[in-house]
Amino acid sequence: MDGPAIEVRGLRKVYRTSITRGRITALDGIDLAVPQGQLFGLLGPNGAGKTTTVKILLGLTHQTEGTARIAGLPVSDPESRRRVGYLPEGHKIPGYLTARQTLSIFGRMSGLDSATIKRRSVELLEKLNIAQWIDVRVKKFSKGMTQRLGLAAALIHSPNVLLLDEPTDGVDPVGRREIRDLLRDEAKNGAAILVNSHLLSEIEMTCDRVAVLRSGKVVAAGRVEELTRQTAKYKVIATAIDDALLAQFHGERVNGHVELSVDDLQQLNAMLDQIRARGGLVSELSPMRSTLEDVFVDLVRA
């Protein structure tokens, strides 16, 4: 396959409203590209256009302008979705089905033979730590377990492209780590993964690149470490930091430590010299970075 596994160019979507005969622009010319082997986070407040983007990629709605392609094929071609795994937010699985039956149905719909379905079902449920529940009816599953089963269903046919909407919603911390590890393994094996989530800490720990949507436009995109670049602040834990020193270096006390703003390393060392001159001891000094949440809030409020 030449080019990105997921690609949208100049994507625009305008909805007509029947009551006022007006128009709502859900997407206003966005560009995105997700190559094979990459975990990509799509972020934005409610109404930013995230769901509309995914619907266009799945052929559930059509763009007004622009192009969208999966695996090199236009999304208007049903063949483009043959190797796509999709986990919708708040998905529902009939409670009378067992996990084994659920994965068998999804596997057969994807054209897998019985032996492959059996092998992949056990393999995925073991990775997601719910293999012991394989013959239990879904109605007895917790929300987190149902979420894991939904992810297994999206992965049953070893897709090249994954579209995941809130994949760790309702999952406990251990389960979130297991899902992160599984997604990283899928990316290492060549899958292009688009994650849509409001859990920014999860996106920060999971994704290689992110894009932030606001009012249908991409307002920031790049590698996570680029967007959460180092600030001019340092976290300091030390004795003998009095109010005068805090004021001099524009510092503040936060949760048992001090955050100090400096212009350069010379100023930082001057601050340390003053702490030592007061007889103080420094037990921690570390540069601070913006979190993805900090970046997100700044962008959507702009």
Confidence of residue 45 (pLDDT cuts 50, 70, 90): confident
H-helix or E-strand spanning residue 17: none
For residue range 120-135, what is the model confidence (pLDDT) as tens digits? Answer: 999 999 999 999 999 9
Range of the domain at 35: 1-83+161-166+190-227
Q: What integer pLDDT is reported at residue 232 of this predicted model?
A: 59
With 0.85 as the threshold, say if the pTM is over it.
no
Residue 140 lies in a domain: no
| pLDDT above 90: percentage of residues in the chain | 55
| pLDDT above 70: percentage of residues in the chain | 94
3-state secondary structure 177-217: HHHHHHHHHHHHCCCEEEEECCCHHHHHHHCCEEEEEECCE
Q: Are 227 and 295 in contact (CB under 8 A)?
A: yes
Residue 16 lies in a domain: yes
Rounded to an integer, the average pLDDT of 54-63 is: 94
- Among residues 211, 227, 243, the one where a domain terminates is 227
241 with 286, same domain: the answer is: yes
For residue range 82-119, what is the model confidence (pLDDT) as tens digits? Answer: 989 999 988 999 999 999 999 999 999 999 999 999 99
Secondary structure tally for the chain: helices H, strands E:
10, 14
Residue 141 lies in a domain: no
Q: Are 59 and 85 in contact (CB under 8 A)?
A: no
Least confident of 12-26, 155-169, 207-221, 224-238: 224-238
Q: What integer pLDDT is reported at residue 227 of this predicted model?
A: 79
Q: What integer pLDDT is reported at residue 231 of this predicted model?
A: 58
Residue 122 lies in a domain: no
Q: Is 157 exposed, middle or buried (0-12, 13-18, 19+ CB in 10 A)?
A: buried
Cα separation, 162 vs 178, in Å, equals: 17
264 with 214, same domain: the answer is: no
68 with 4, same domain: the answer is: yes
Q: How many domains does the chain have?
A: 2
Q: What integer pLDDT is reported at residue 22 of this predicted model?
A: 77
Residue 34 lies in a domain: yes
Residue 57 lies in a domain: yes
- Among residues 209, 227, 245, the one where a domain terminates is 227
Taking 70 as the threshold, does the pLDDT of residue 20 lie above it?
A: no
Phi-psi category of 154—alpha, beta or left, where left has phi over 0 and alpha has psi -120 to 50?
alpha
Q: What integer pLDDT is reported at residue 21 of this predicted model?
A: 66
Q: What integer pLDDT is reported at residue 84 of this predicted model?
A: 96
- Residue 120's closest CA among 153, 85, 87, 169? 153
Taking 90 as the threshold, does the pLDDT of residue 159 lie above it?
A: yes
Q: What integer pLDDT is reported at residue 134 of this predicted model?
A: 97
212 with 274, same domain: the answer is: no
Q: Are 206 and 182 in contact (CB under 8 A)?
A: no
